[in-house]
Structure 1
Amino acid sequence: MTGPALDRLEDKCLSIVRVPARPARPRSEGLTVVADRGLGPRALDDLLDTAGEYIDVAKFAMGVSRLLPEALVRGKIQAYDKRGIPAFFAGEVSELALMQGVAKEYFAAIHDLGGWGVEVSNAQVAMGIGQKSALIALARDAGLEVVAECGRKGGVDWTGSAKLVAAEVKACLDAGAWRVLIQAEGLNEGVEKRNEGLVLDLVGQFGLGQLIFQAKEEGLIPWFLKTFGSAVNLDVDSDQVLDLESQRRGLRKRGVFALMAGH
């Protein structure tokens, strides 16, 4: 029985020096989700040329796609697709579409654009678990993959009950979500102390493979990697991709020689 193909960076610069291998794309764990906050075509080309092979999924973040010409958005989706990177749309516009009663039409429009998926969230809109599950099913019916986000924004304290968060995660997965993204705000961003216990509880119940954690603030990438290893799925900004990959490979923060033992 053979395992997944490994990427040992043998075609990269200074290949005489070995570094820890990682599963080659497409991979099921150790995913890097990049938040595209409005990269222009040339900036996107630069990102893909320098770090494209270390990106597993791209996210059109913060609703900025609503501000751009359709042709530009289509071109960006195609640019990602040519590098084997599926692209999905973040939940801000999804929540507006829900409030305006056009969720079905919105999902159809994303599919028409060539988008791979959509984020279904209730970060800023109050929504029951049943309603969220139905929205996930609606997006799936439109031919989209769903990244379901759990957590709230705007100072709402949503981390007090691990059981309630876990129930929502389970409901999203049962409804057909591809992965569940755990919102950082109120968990490990914008707080005096990170709620590491909730993160540990969720990983303990669902494992690493089904969850994605946001890790954009300073210190979060090394904490997640030190705690869970390189198989943890992380959502980072476009300027953090190479930093994250270097830490996954043990080139910084975690110590090269300890990781190299046995390789």
Structure 2
Amino acid sequence: MGSSSHLSDAELASARLMPRRRPLTWAAAGILLIVLAEAAYSVVTNPGFGWPVVGEHIFSPQVLAGLVMTLTLTVVSMTLALVLGIVLAVSAASKNPVLSTAAHGYIWIFRAIPLLVQIIFWYNLAALYPKLGIGLPFMPSFVEFDTNSVITAMIAAIVAMSLNEAAYMAEIVRSGLNSVDNGQREASRALGISPLDTFMRIVMPQAMRVIIPPTGNETLSMLKYTSLVSVIALPELLYSTQLIASRTFEVIPMLLVASLWYLIVSTVLMLIQVAIERRLARSVVR
């Protein structure tokens, strides 16, 4: 066949298109496969990984108890953070200067201070307030409690992670609320719908499409942040495996046990996130 300038329109339309050859791409892919195969072979055959030890302890009661503690911290902290984040996002958008300033100040402080510092701070709250009381402001307390008996390691971890994560959830919720066109709110006011019903039945359902993806990412981050509470000797997954390693001196295998459980739980959470996003996408199409 001659050059394309001598072909008719019919010949061009019926011509078979051939993909462009990319030898460098295939060469890079081949090199990558070789490297991955070598890495996999090394991981499987290197006795230092201690795979028999991993199989022995991965379902041990102490490890499973640590896994339950990790999941409990993740679920409780994310639930509280989401509720508080919604309150902060609504307060930050309020026209009341006191509410708006307080919400922005909260977000600024808790996003600036590292989570590890916050965990240690709440765990040592008794150094500042040996007693916690319930009463009216500037008046003697009706009831007082010993701080160490109230702020246990579990409570300190939940408080620290919830308050810290709420600052990030507030920004996520704020971006979701801003994604809803303001005409939706104006139309609801014109129809006489109350502000609460407008928020719960009109604005929030539409904002969820924007809120869900980053919330899923924050949940995965929260799952991994739970490992920080090992500094206050709370027996979550990582600390539980470290306790076993301190007895058996099998540090690497026990780290692998923790890593495998983190990988399994993270994968399940990712699948749940994908399922929720697909369901929201179908509702948008409908």
Q: Which category describes the TM-score, using the shorter chain as reference length?
A: under 0.3
Higher-strand-fraction structure = 1
Give the number of the structure with larger relative contact order, counting CA–CA contacts within 8 Å between residues 6 or more apart. 2
Report the TM-score when normalising by structure 1.
0.23
Report the TM-score when normalising by structure 2.
0.21
